[in-house]
Chains A and B, each alone.
Chain A
Amino acid sequence: MSETTIGGIAGRMPKFLRRADPAVVTAFACIVILLLLGSLYSRSFLSPEYLLQQLKVASFLGVIATGMMLVILLGQIDLSVPWSVATGAMMACAAAAYGSVGVALAIPFGVLCGVAIGLVNGIGVAYLRIPSMIITLATNAVAQGLMVVYTGGFSPQDSATAAMRYLATGFTIPGVPNAVIIWALIGAAMVFVLTRTSFGRAVYGIGNRERAAYLSGIDTRRIVLIAFAVSGGLSAFGGVLLAGYASKAAQSMGDAYLLPSIAAVVLGGTSILGGRGSYLGTVAGVILITLLQSILSVMQMPEAGRQIIYGVVIVAMLLLYGRAPASR
């Protein structure tokens, strides 16, 4: 019944809006509302500098959410994000301590550590058939344990390399932060992979019904393994960028990215059950979450209030358009 009403309204809208996913449109509408609310609070909210700054902050979350989206499209979830991020950052900084070779290999090494975590996740999910929620929690705990042993429980003293700082804070094109360019490149690659390659079709297929995908000749286990490895690698790369941004790694730097990355993907209209969703939605979700965080911090909301509003907003938005169909 609700579909006919949406169709009725959509009939009077321009073509590009009619074809769009209602969830993505809602997310973008919420972004506009947030911007308007913010501009009521402070005039500088709509200035290009502020918006670019927001995009830059959003790009770290964007990189991490890209990997998360790939996994969620499969109908799985990656809860190892916090320590994949921290491992990537710490290992990249650690490599930097080993002379010029270390400095040169710092970024690939950090990302590879994330890929390794992702591979363990992927093997567990694809070949051992362990529920992804469990195996990723376990690898998260193992990664945390490894990092605690490595760092002795303190934040490591090694600092980020110049290349990491350049990627996170530099400007190749005047006015556009490098981090934003990196996010755009990764996003474009993701859109290409999802919409133009057989891998992408297989991801959607597995998310819809793994059994059917398997019967149609897709090596579903390999696809799942690759997706988890990519997710781990992107989380670690997000960590590398964050370390470049803060110029060093910290113990709990990844904790603040688990809920936002899942929320960004889900708010962007990707079904948590898998098989449905577009990257445009994830972009909208990432910007939405970042703006929300930014507005709350501009309003000098204490951490407690931020957590509460944050959780309430996510539940409220999901209730608006993320509900499962009324069963039966």
Chain B
Amino acid sequence: MRDWRYWLAEQRGTLLAFGIFIVMFAIYSGNHPAGFTANVVQTAANKGVLLAFVAMAQTLVVITAGIDLSVGMIFTLTNCMASWLVIGTGLETAFGVLAVLGTGLICGAVNGAIVIYGRLQPIVATIATGAVFFGLALLLRPVPGGSVNEDLADFLTGRFFGVVPASLVALLVIVLVVWVPFSRSEFGRAAYAAGSSETAAYMSGVPIRRGKFLAYTLAGLLAAIGGLFLTFFTYTGEAAYASGNAYTLFSIAAVVLGGVSLFGGKGSAIGAIFGALAFRTIGDLLFVFDFDPLWQPLFQGVILLIAVSLGAFALFRVRNRLEWFL
């Protein structure tokens, strides 16, 4: 009878993110010159999906109480790689996609191995591996360029039946294929348990190491899917340091907006997806209200600052001052 209350309490962050997104998108499409049309939705979806993939990647790692500051660089690296490989006949393109996704898996596995088996702190380790990934991206694309199989790209960035944005369908498929099985598996539970209390999880015989390793590895894969889609949207590869960094930063913002606890053990990738879509919509609000694009970085920064400060409200509920310190 009271099951739904537990469910509600568990999903509060996700539902909040969903609510924010709906409100923001209503304001956005309501004020858009073209109104709420399939075209507007498609453009918004294509932009939002990129961040959604990277935010999903970040979520997997954040759930284990870690952080991956290299997701943006994996995203950039796979973008550069896809601009070389995802081209040619159907078979060649398929091989290219597999190679790109495999690269993402390897990048994630390297992060996981260094953090879990090398016992380094995730912040420092992933900043350093991020430098390596960016170096590799620069090696592949010293100058922006390359091309992609445009049939596939147009198919995945277009619309199904003239209405449904294909990129949203792709996002849904990835959620069903990667996130749902992971979060319901033994290893997914281990990742949650490790983030919640590593010692307790260890004492209960939960396979925390394998759970965390899988989380980091899948994060690499999801970032690579994001990189692949970036290539589909832009038709080129570019090793841009600033854009890689921005995606890392925005992924953290999206995760926070999506109700995922940065202390680990709480939240879901679904929430992060809505967090990402909401964050993108907020950033685009400036355009429909005709502001100078110069203000966009400041606006996004302020939104980020407010979003992370919202978490501080929990402090008002603290009765014992010692609970300030975790």
Distance in angstroms between the alpha carbons of A77 and B121 in the assembled complex: 12
Distance in angstroms between the alpha carbons of A314 and B299 in the assembled complex: 35
Does B9 touch A at the CB level, under 8 Å?
no
Pick the most buried of A210, A303, A309: most chain B CB atoms within 10 A of its CB: A303
Does A19 touch B at the CB level, under 8 Å?
no
B294 touches A153 (CB 8 A): yes
> What is the interface of chain B, defined by CB distance below 8 A to chain A?
67, 114, 118-121, 123-125, 127-132, 134-139, 142, 198-199, 202, 241-242, 245, 249, 252-253, 256, 262-263, 294-302, 304-305, 308-309, 311-312, 315, 321-322, 324-325
Distance in angstroms between the alpha carbons of A322 and B127 in the assembled complex: 15
B242 partner, pick from A138, A210, A252, beta carbons under 8 A: A252
Distance in angstroms between the alpha carbons of A258 and B245 in the assembled complex: 12
Main secondary structure of the interface of B (DSSP, over half): helix
Nearest first, the 4 closest Cβ-Cβ pairs linking A and B are A145-B298, A307-B135, A141-B301, A308-B135
Does A135 touch B at the CB level, under 8 Å?
yes
14 pairs from A and B in contact (CB 8 Å cutoff) = A124-B308, A128-B315, A140-B249, A142-B304, A214-B322, A259-B127, A262-B123, A263-B127, A273-B121, A303-B135, A304-B142, A308-B131, A318-B128, A328-B199
Smallest CB gap from B255: residue in A = A134
B124 touches A141 (CB 8 A): no
Distance in angstroms between the alpha carbons of A262 and B69 in the assembled complex: 13
B249 touches A137 (CB 8 A): yes
> What is the interface of chain A, defined by CB distance below 8 A to chain B?
77, 124, 128-131, 133-135, 137-146, 148-149, 152-153, 210-211, 214-215, 220, 252, 255, 258-259, 262-263, 266, 272-273, 302-312, 314-315, 318-319, 322-328
Smallest CB gap from A82: residue in B = B245
Query: Which A residues are CB-close (under 8 A) to B118?
Result: 315, 318-319, 323
B127 touches A149 (CB 8 A): no
Given contacts A146-B298, A308-B135, A308-B136, contact A319 B311 (CB under 8 A): no
A211 touches B322 (CB 8 A): yes
A138 touches B139 (CB 8 A): no
Distance in angstroms between the alpha carbons of A142 and B306 in the assembled complex: 11
Main secondary structure of the interface of A (DSSP, over half): helix
B262 touches A134 (CB 8 A): yes
A272 partner, pick from B123, B305, B325, beta carbons under 8 A: B123
A262 touches B139 (CB 8 A): no
Query: Which B residues are CB-close (under 8 A) to A131?
Result: 262-263
B119 touches A138 (CB 8 A): no
A304 touches B130 (CB 8 A): no
Distance in angstroms between the alpha carbons of A194 and B137 in the assembled complex: 41
A307 partner, pick from B138, B296, B298, B302, beta carbons under 8 A: B138
Distance in angstroms between the alpha carbons of A124 and B308 in the assembled complex: 9
Smallest CB gap from A306: residue in B = B135
Query: Which B residues are CB-close (under 8 A) to A258?
Result: 127
B300 touches A141 (CB 8 A): yes
Q: What is the minimal beta-carbon distance from A161 to any residue of chain B, in angstroms?
A: 27
Q: What is the minimal beta-carbon distance from B253 to any residue of chain A, in angstroms?
A: 8
Query: Which B residues are CB-close (under 8 A) to A309?
Result: 135
Distance in angstroms between the alpha carbons of A310 and B299 in the assembled complex: 34
Q: What is the minimal beta-carbon distance from B130 to any residue of chain A, in angstroms?
A: 7
B242 touches A311 (CB 8 A): no
B294 touches A152 (CB 8 A): yes
B138 partner, pick from A77, A220, A263, A304, beta carbons under 8 A: A304
A315 touches B138 (CB 8 A): no
Query: Which A residues are CB-close (under 8 A) to B315?
Result: 128-129
B199 touches A138 (CB 8 A): no
Distance in angstroms between the alpha carbons of A210 and B325 in the assembled complex: 7
B132 touches A138 (CB 8 A): no
A130 touches B309 (CB 8 A): yes
B309 partner, pick from A128, A302, A310, A311, beta carbons under 8 A: A128
Q: What is the minimal beta-carbon distance from A302 to any residue of chain B, in angstroms?
A: 8
A262 touches B124 (CB 8 A): yes
Q: What is the minimal beta-carbon distance from A180 to any residue of chain B, in angstroms?
A: 27
Q: What is the minimal beta-carbon distance from B63 to any residue of chain A, in angstroms?
A: 15
Distance in angstroms between the alpha carbons of A123 and B135 in the assembled complex: 36
Query: Which B residues are CB-close (under 8 A) to A210?
Result: 325
B125 touches A318 (CB 8 A): yes
Pick the most buried of B67, B130, B298: most chain A CB atoms within 10 A of its CB: B298
Distance in angstroms between the alpha carbons of A309 and B132 in the assembled complex: 7
Query: Which A residues are CB-close (under 8 A) to B325?
Result: 210-211, 214, 220
Given contacts A128-B309, A133-B67, A149-B298, contact A324 B121 (CB under 8 A): yes
Other than the given A138-B253, A145-B301, 14 more pairs (CB < 8 A) read A124-B308, A128-B315, A129-B315, A141-B297, A148-B297, A148-B298, A152-B294, A220-B325, A259-B131, A262-B123, A318-B124, A324-B119, A327-B198, A327-B202
A139 touches B305 (CB 8 A): yes
B129 touches A315 (CB 8 A): yes
B135 touches A305 (CB 8 A): yes
Q: What is the minimal beta-carbon distance from B116 to any residue of chain A, in angstroms?
A: 11
Given contacts A135-B308, A142-B305, A315-B129, contact A263 B252 (CB under 8 A): no
Q: What is the minimal beta-carbon distance from A214 to any residue of chain B, in angstroms?
A: 7
Given contacts A77-B123, A128-B312, A272-B123, contact A311 B322 (CB under 8 A): no
Query: Which B residues are CB-close (under 8 A) to A304?
Result: 135-139, 142
Q: What is the minimal beta-carbon distance from A234 to any residue of chain B, in angstroms?
A: 20
Query: Which A residues are CB-close (under 8 A) to B130?
Result: 311
Query: Which B residues are CB-close (under 8 A) to A306?
Result: 135
B131 partner, pick from A130, A307, A318, A326, beta carbons under 8 A: A307
A305 touches B139 (CB 8 A): yes
Query: Which A residues are CB-close (under 8 A) to B311?
Result: 130
Distance in angstroms between the alpha carbons of A149 and B128 in the assembled complex: 31
Smallest CB gap from B139: residue in A = A304
Smallest CB gap from B322: residue in A = A211
Distance in angstroms between the alpha carbons of A214 and B296 in the assembled complex: 41
Given contacts A138-B301, A211-B325, contact A149 B294 (CB under 8 A): yes
